[in-house]
Amino acid sequence: MSTEKKIDVTALGELLIDFTESGLSPQGNKLLEVNPGGAPCNVLAMLNKQGRKAAFLGKVGDDMFGRMLKARTIEQGIDMTGLMMDEEVHTTLAFVEKLPNGDRDFSFYRNPGADIMLTKDEVIANKALIENAKIFHFGTLSMTHEGIEAATIEALDIAKASGAIISFDPNLRPPLWSSEEKAKEKIAYGLSRCDVLKISDNEIEFMTGESDLDKGIKMIIDEYKIPLVFATYGPDGSKAYCNGVEAYEAGFLNPATIETTGAGDTFCASALHFVLKYGLEMNEEQLHELLVFANAAASLVTTKKGALCVMPTPDEVAAYIKESGR
């Protein structure tokens, strides 16, 4: 990795409030806890825990939630000089419902939400955050609307021109798309531009129609020629694919798990930490090391509500791996 660039990872995208279930009131009404969230900043928070310098580019509302998000992300050590405050549009909200099978259902208040109001001109005004980054990370939620899509494409162009490694996590949220076809189109665009891909089991099937996930991910690799790919399978672990080298590690099943918000982001951040450590060319031993750490970190974050402010430290992850006998 270049030592000239001062930022390890800059991410662009959504910063929002996750309202998560937190028991019942004395009257039997559901209580909701206000948790800072948004996949890109979740990734940056975990990277900061691993000693990496992280910066964010995005927008929140100039309201009570936006001001709270700004304060909490700064507390996590993220460079928030690229955070814009919208005086007219409120901060995006997401209500997270835990389903009986342990999965989650999201209800978004984002039509509009401040995160989609980021403009191309605002990206250009903050281009130093991208030009000085070793890795630029993004997802598809910054491509659901025309204005924020133009901002994302501009950021990608700046990142490519500056020689940054491009990291992409589709982070599929079907309710936020006008159609499945539109979602597939924008995910395909992200696949076509990235050097590092983190993709989940449901996203592999969504993009390929393949229930055989190993076959599906190889279809994606063959079509888009992505150098480094991580496929995550929830409690069933994860696989890495690096220029013909493959590695698999089982997941860590934690009896203390309460909800899975941020698990994929924690995994993604851990993977990027190893990209910064080893580069895009990793051998099988390095891939196994990466997967064990990333799986363990993702498992630990499921034991707490929210994600952005509760990321595990490297020492906590290492102790968990040791306790698990791995």
pLDDT given at position 80:
98
2 has pLDDT over 70:
no
What integer pLDDT is reported at residue 105 of this predicted model?
80
Question: Nearest-CA neighbor of 54 among 170, 136, 167?
Answer: 136
Q: Bridge partners of 197?
A: 168, 229
pLDDT of residue 45: 98
Residue type, 72: R
d(CA 296, CA 83): 31
Q: What is the dihedral of CA 308, 310, 311, 312, to 10 degrees?
A: 180
Residue 3 has pLDDT above 60, yes or no: no
End-to-end CA distance of the chain: 29
Question: Is pLDDT of 243 > 80?
Answer: yes
Specify the pLDDT at position 106: 83
Cα torsion for 240, 242, 243, 247, to the nearest 10°?
-50
The pLDDT assigned to 99 comes to 72
Cβ contact 217:237 at 8 Å? no
For the stretch 208-237, pLDDT in tens is: 999 999 999 999 999 999 999 999 999 999
Whether the per-residue pLDDT at 296 is higher than 60: the answer is yes
Mean pLDDT value across residues 251-266: 92
Q: How far apart are CA 83 and CA 66, in angstroms?
A: 10
Among 195, 246, 257, CA closest to 217 = 246
Q: Is the pTM of this model over 0.75?
A: yes
pLDDT of 108 above 70: yes
Q: Residue 1 above 60 pLDDT?
A: no
| Count of CB atoms situated within 10 Å of the CB of 75 | 12
Q: Is residue 96 very low, low, confident or very high in pLDDT (cuts 50, 70, 90)?
A: confident
Give dist(CA 308, CA 266) in Å, integer. Answer: 9
Picking from 28-32, 61-65, 110-114, 255-259, which range would have the lowest pLDDT averaged per residue?
255-259
Least confident of 88-92, 95-99, 176-180, 290-294: 95-99
Reported confidence tier of residue 103, pLDDT bands at 50, 70, 90:
low
Element (H, E) at 73: helix 64-75
pLDDT surpassing 90 at residue 123 = yes
Structure-block tokens of residue 147 = 């204005």
Q: What is the pLDDT of residue 280?
A: 97
At residue 82, the pLDDT reads 98
Selection from 71, 101, 95 nearest residue 83 by Cα: 71
Q: Is the pLDDT of residue 115 over 60?
A: yes
Averaged pLDDT, 253-274: 94
3-class DSSP assignment, residue 275:
helix
Tokens (6 digits) for 252: 């860590």
Q: Exposed/middle/buried for 25, CB within 10 Å: 0-12, 13-18, 19+?
A: exposed
Beta strands in 133-257 (DSSP E): 133-139, 165-169, 196-200, 228-232, 238-242, 245-249
The token pair at 314 is 């490297």
Residue 85 has φ and ψ, to the nearest 5°, of -115, 115
Q: Average model confidence (pLDDT) for the chain?
A: 95
pLDDT digit string (tens) for 155-197? 999 999 999 999 999 999 999 999 999 999 999 999 999 999 9
Pairing outcome for strands 93-98 and 79-86: unpaired
- Provide φ and ψ at 300, rounded to 5°: -65, -40
The arithmetic mean of pLDDT across residues 279-303, rounded, is 97
**In the block, residue with structure tokens 């460079």:** 79
Q: What is the mean pLDDT of residues 13-18?
A: 96
Residue 205, amino acid: E
**277 is written with which tokens?**
């450590």
What single-letter amino acid sits at 138? Answer: F
Which domains are delineated in the chain? 11-323 (3.40.1190.20)
What string of H, E and C letters represents the secondary structure of 199-221? EEHHHHHHHHCCCCHHHHHHHHH
What CA–CA distance (Å, rounded) separates 146 from 63?
A: 24
